[in-house]
Amino acid sequence: MRTASFGLMPFIKCDKLYLNDRKSILYLLSYGVINILSSTGFSLLKKSMYSALLLFFLVSSLLSSARAQDNIATYLPLPPGYSTIKVFDSQGRFVGRILPEKRYWVSIDRIPPFLQNAVVAIEDSRFYEHGGIDVRGIARALVKDVIKGKLAEGGSTITQQLIKIKFLSREKTIDRKLKEAQLAIEFETKYTKKQILEMYLNEIYYGNGAWGIAQAARLYFDKNPEDLTDSECSLLAGVPKAPARFNPLGKASRVTGRRDLVLNRMVELKMITRQQQIYLRAHPPSVVPRGQAPYYMAHIRNKLIERYGPGVIEQGGLEVTAALDLNLQKLAEQVLREGVKRISPQLQGALLCLDPNTGDVLAAVGGVDFEQSTYNRAFSAMRQPGSAIKPLIYAAALEKGFTPGSIWNDTPVAYNRGNNEIWRPLNYERKNYGELTLRQALAYSNNVITVKLLEAIGVPYFVDFAQKLGFTLRAHNDLSLALGTEEVTLNDLVLAYTPLANGGSRPESRTIIRIYDRNRSTWAEDPAAVTPVLSPATAFVTTQMLKDVMIYGTAKSLKKFSQERPSAGKTGTTDDYRDAWFIGYTPQMITGIWVGYDKPRPGGKGFTGGAVAAPIWGRFMRPALATKPAVDFPKPDTVVTVSIDPATGFLATTDCPAKRDEFYIEGTQPTEYCPRHGGDTLRPSSLSLPPPNANRQQPDTAGEGAQKAGKE
């Protein structure tokens, strides 16, 4: 054996013979340790110092005797009978658990003897024999260190590992190892073996954020430690060696291989029989899978705390039925992640999908990667909506008597803000297009006309109108509101659109449908809350205008989708291309998309809602609606359809070169015929609405949004 050259062969051969002969052990240790140190590159002073110190610790370990200490727990005791909060989707499918964050202490009598034995077998088989440091283990480690030429082997006992966790760094130096040995010996004089094992099992790391056996048993098996089976214990015992590799959620081959090593060692030490080993290998435990929908789960956690207080998570015992559709959630996570990363790996995004009739949050994704960032951009991030605010202004105008067929001009306009400051709203790419109907102005996201429209209805009126839709805007006379300068969350914006999708009612966002308290055997229902905020006619006519956005407007890339399913929506792009939005809906589902940088900065020309957010929306909505019938938005009795000349906004005559059927809130439709073209009137029909006159110059729909203020 080559290790003889290091002076350890006598020790290795005679260890068992002289185990109870302290003089012989000290002699052999002196001989072995000094020879090992002599073979290394240490200075004479260090060789002498380390030899003396190590021998002192070894002597102390042989002479130590422990006294039981009271109150070794460093955390509150784990309450008996605790159970986690479980979350299920609206179809009853298990989504995940909301785990307590606090660490709890478990006394040794609540830790299964099988787990205690398994840990001792695999980590420190001579635990009950040594006095804190294992002579044989140190010798073996020193041999390997010398062979490798570095401090690679620890040779640590359970006591030493505990010391390292509680008091020392993980650096591999002789100084640290000597300090570790000294403290381990001191620990053995203060605490019994059972106390040391109890502390170890409560302090060791088990991977995936689980510290101590209480958290590990809860995370991997949803149990208290005393309820663990032998099979579960054999899996957990192998984790501390390398938690990242051997935790029960790791690669199956590694985890089972480590489990088999634990069982083999237990058989060798006669802790279990060969038959028990065979049985345990044939009956592996069922590990609770990783939680799904992390952003959604985090939001539910916050909602529970809002309702019951922060102590509810630690109390546990709840079963939550969420409004979530797990299949839609998985689809949303995938589509958002792939869609955003396709543009830039540094970008972030959010997706929120609701049932517009109930407010049920069917899917919510607050970022592209929860492990990298837990910040929930769907509910918390405040960003400028840009042109995505415009449908609300047009809806407010409809309620004031304006119509989609009225003609407006986008000639430049300037506003005095005081202090010699002039503001000139600009269209995308600073272009102007002359006369447009309000329908066209919304489809093309014309900034100048929108500002003029807001001026016409009045900022205070719009602020009150927005308040009904759930928007709290600053009530000051600032026409820049027309360009989406007020910050909102994606959740706020999607909810503000829901009255347009469902006929005029605003639901509250609902993520929790009901809660069952297992401890009290009681149910708590959370009914949908819906409030009428718009006339059905206003909602319908605004929706008909927004259909054009997807046919020939700023989201015309979704034209094919809109032909397959009646749908409406609006893009949004903020100043300098910092934020890209698309909010779109059908009668059954409304979804909002936001894409941008967490620290706002320009995304570059072309970073628009139509080019960036709308395609992600389409890739999500197509499969999301695949099993639902294609239905149109119901037309209220208070809406009338008349044929108009889109160039003048008057009732069309037989001589008008272009005609289209337009929707009006009853009482606002035109009553005079087109003055440019005399002739007989046409009776209103139910023809589909064509795009505007192709001969007229059309605005560039590549982008839109809150443009630079044009200050002077």
Cβ pair 580, 612 in contact under 8 A: yes
Question: What are the tokens at 604?
Answer: 């570059």
Cα 441 from chain centroid (whole Å) = 37
> Tokens at residue 643, please?
């044929």
CA 534 to CA 603: how far, in whole Å? 36
User: Which pair of tokens denotes residue 307?
Assistant: 């309702």
What's the angle, vertex CA 97, arms to CA 96 and CA 103, rounded to 5?
145
DSSP three-state, residue 406: coil
**Phi, psi angle pair for 297, to nearest 5°:** -65, -40
Residues 6 or more apart whose Cβ sits within 8 Å of residue 491? 352, 378, 379, 509
Q: What is the CA radius of gyration of the chain?
A: 36
Q: Which regions of 150-271 does DSSP assign to beta strands (E)? A: none
- Please confirm, yes or no, whether 662 is among the known catalytic residues: no
Residue-wise DSSP of 478-531:
-GGGGGT-S-B-HHHHHHHHHHHHHTSEEEPPB-EEEEEETTTTEEEE----EE
Answer whether 25's CB lies under 8 Å from 16's CB: no
Q: Is 679 left (phi over 0), alpha (psi -120 to 50) or beta?
A: left
Give the alpha-carbon dihedral of 691, 692, 693, 696, to 10 degrees. Answer: -130
Both tokens assigned to 266: 């237990």
Burial of 600 (0-12, 13-18, 19+ CB in 10 A): middle
Beta bridge mates, 663? 641
Nearest to 261 by CA among 153, 116, 121: 121
Amino acid occupying residue 694: A
- 320 CB burial (10 A radius; 0-12, 13-18, 19+): buried
- Strands in 291-390 per DSSP E: 318-322, 348-354, 361-365
SS3 662: strand
Tokens at 157, concatenated: 């006992």
- What are residue 322's phi and psi, to 5 degrees? -95, 160
In sequence order, what are the residues at sequence separation of 6 or more whose Cβ sits closer than 8 angstroms to the Cβ of residue 52?
none
- CA atoms of 358 and 208, how far apart (whole Å): 37
Contacts of 416-419 with CB under 8 Å at 24 or more apart are none
Candidates 51, 123, 486, 562; catalytic one? 123
Q: Active site includes 90?
A: no
C-alpha dist (Å) from residue 430 to 662, 706, 709: 29, 12, 12
Distance CA 660, CA 646 (A): 7
Q: Which of 221, 230, 261 is nearest to 245 (CA)?
A: 261
Helix (H) or strand (E) holding 569: strand 568-573
Amino acid in the structure at residue 552: Y
CA distance 487 to 514: 32
Catalytic residue among 60, 387, 509, 643: 387
How many angstroms separate the CA atoms of 479 and 142, rounded? 78
User: Is the Cβ–Cβ distance between 322 and 87 less than 8 Å?
Assistant: yes
Q: Catalytic residue numbers?
A: 123, 387
